[in-house]
Amino acid sequence: MKVMKFGGGCLKNCEHLLKVAEIIKLEKDSVVVIVSALSGITDLLEDGIQISMKSSKNVSEIISTVRNLHKHVAETSIRDNEIKQRLMKDIENKLKKLERLFYGIAYTEEITESIRAHILSYGERLSALVLSEILRSLDKDAIAVEADQIAIITDESFENATAILPEVKKNLSSTILPLINKGTIPIITGYFGCTHEGKVTTFGRNGSDYSAAVVAYGIGANLLEIWKDVDGFMSGDPKIVKNPHRIERLSYYEAAELSYFGARIIHPRTVEPLVDVNIPIRIRNLYDLKSKGTEVFGEGYEREDVIKSVTYNKDISVLRILGPGVGYKPGIIAEIGGIFSKMGINIYSIITSQTCINLLVDRKDSRRSYESIKNLVGGIIEKIDLEDNIVLIAVVGEGLLKRKGVAARVFSAVAEESVNIEMISSGASEVASYFIVKEKYVRKTINAIHREFFEKVESSGLQNPSF
């Protein structure tokens, strides 16, 4: 039994949807499908929320845009008029509910976290309908299933929810497994779940990968297959590195670290539900069915040159809290963490010394972060600085902390390019080490490390190194 997840990059237009449907149709094993919204729809819904907060005048235009995109896909993908008409009716029913939510925002000029999550869930609700009816038009028994209807129960974090796995497993055994047993393909909405009270929660942007892992856990799948518009994880970003290598195999922890620090192939939390049950992940490319992609397993392996990939994250900033004893004084980090938690600001990492606490935060939250704690200056905190023009570089591979000389090779390669390293952190993870450089040096830094660990292998005459 397999869970197949298709992201927005696989759901761009009718051609892609038909290709997805054919891939599902050719499966011989029992499958459950998880879908994201059609490409661009979640952004449209986000924009719709902002527009509705200001006025009700453009609500009908928002709904019309969403309707036309789905209507076009339905009309060009499905030939059977009866199926097509049924789909359009179902889409219209969903849009009426969505329209009421937008008007509610416009009239009250306010929005709760729960309503926001509910609105953003409509991209997946609509795409599940569309794909299920396309499959029916291809003579496959499929049904659209909404995550809140089958009780994918989460905690009450509306923008970054966590599934309550034992409850999900119990609920799916009575809702999804009977469908599978009678040969029906469930097309389940990704990205969201619900609280015990039935309020919609989301798993954050790109959270459908996590949804798929939760479902894989819940039904006891043998495999989670994540379909993307790329080959899988690479040794370096193809936009920066000339000849990156596809990584054939990673461990859960390597994949999570790479995703967390910039290689956005899967959602960083995807492996969470799978660790205890050891369900493998296979990443496939919709546009290259011959590619084997990347496989992710619970058990890792150590590459001869240790490093499997070098990645980067441009979307970070550093807050520096300075004072002669800030690193020694108890409670400072807890106080700052409490302030950030109330504001929904995530701290990527904390690096401390006696005189400085460095907090890595998302760049979009950097100004809010600074403003929220600047009044702490005085006494032991002498000053707080904010730096935006930086990039976090991460090297990932099993054996990174155990193998002698690896870190020296990384930093020597960077030094040869006359790039200064602003900050280093090693030891927090057994498979990752990261450091910070100025943003203008990102290409030089990535290429220097990639040459050291990958291109030198090729030039030495070793063929087909294992990645």
- pLDDT of res. 427: 60
Contacts of 45 (CB under 8 A, 6+ apart): 37, 66, 119, 120, 122, 123
CB-based contacts of 455, cutoff 8 Å, min separation 6? 243
Indicate whether 192 and 317 sit together in one domain: no
Q: How far apart are the first and last CA of the chain?
A: 28
> Under a CB-based contact definition with an 8 Å cutoff, are residues 145 and 135 in contact?
no
The three-state secondary structure class of 163 is strand
Question: Does the residue 271 lie in any domain?
Answer: no
For residues 141 and 154, what is the distance between their CA atoms, to the nearest angstrom? 29
Whether residue 246 lies inside any domain: the answer is no
Shared-domain flag, residues 342 and 210: no
Amino acid 460: pLDDT = 47
CA–CA dist 135, 120 (Å, integer): 25
Domain co-membership, 215 together with 330: no
The neighbour count for residue 419, using CB atoms within 10 Å, is: 19
- Supply the CATH number for residue 48's domain: 3.40.1160.10
Asked whether residue 272 is domain-assigned, the answer is: no
pLDDT of residue 297: 95
Q: Which residue has the tokens 């997805």?
A: 20
Nearest C-alpha neighbor of 191 from the set 154, 221, 225, 220: 154
- Pairing state between β 316-322 and 249-251: unpaired
Q: Where a domain ends, among 229, 244, 272?
A: 229
Residue ending a domain, choose from 181, 200, 229: 229
Q: Looking at residue 461, what is its pLDDT?
A: 47
pLDDT tens, per residue, the chain with 467 residues = 999 999 999 999 999 999 999 999 999 889 999 999 999 999 999 999 999 999 999 999 999 999 999 999 999 999 999 999 999 999 999 999 999 999 999 999 899 999 999 999 999 999 999 999 999 999 999 999 999 999 999 999 998 999 999 999 999 999 999 999 999 999 999 999 999 999 999 998 889 999 999 999 999 999 999 999 889 999 999 999 988 999 999 999 999 999 988 778 999 899 999 999 999 999 999 999 999 999 999 988 888 889 999 999 999 999 999 998 888 888 889 999 999 988 889 898 888 888 999 999 999 999 999 999 999 998 889 999 999 999 999 999 998 888 888 989 999 999 999 999 988 887 667 899 999 999 999 999 999 999 999 986 554 444 444 44
Query: Residue 425: what pLDDT?
Result: 80
- Domain presence at residue 40: yes
Both tokens of 106, joined, read: 């416009």
Assess if residue 467 is contained within a domain: no
Are residues 10 and 117 both part of a single domain? Answer: yes
Six-digit token string for 60: 């009908």
Instruction: Kindly give the pairing relationship between strand 383-387 and strand 316-322.
Output: antiparallel
Do residues 215 and 316 share a domain?
A: no
Residue whose C-alpha is closest to residue 186's, from 218, 139, 143, 135? 143
Place of tokens 């200064």: 420
Cα 311 to Cα 332: distance, rounded to the nearest angstrom: 31
In a domain, 442, yes or no: yes
The domain tally of the chain equals 2
Residue 361 sits in a domain whose CATH number is 3.30.2130.10
Residue 464 lies in a domain: no
- Distance separating alpha carbons of residues 21 and 76, to the nearest angstrom: 14
Closest CA to 189 of 138, 157, 143, 235: 143
User: Which residue among 168, 203, 229 closes a domain?
Assistant: 229
| Centroid of chain to Cα 62 | 26
Phi/psi of residue 100, each to 5°? -60, -40
Q: Where are the alpha helices (DSSP H) in 113-240?
A: 113-120, 122-137, 165-175, 177-181, 208-219
Estimate to the nearest angstrom the gap between the alpha carbon of 251 and the chain centroid: 17
d(CA 422, CA 356): 14
- Calculate ∠ Cα 92-93-99, nearest 5°: 80
Please, which residues have CB within 8 angstroms of residue 82's CB and are 6 or more apart in sequence?
none
Residue 462's pLDDT is 45
Same domain, 224 and 331: no
Element (H, E) at 34: strand 31-35
| Structural domain for 385, as ranges | 310-459
**CB contact at 8 A, 242 and 386:** no
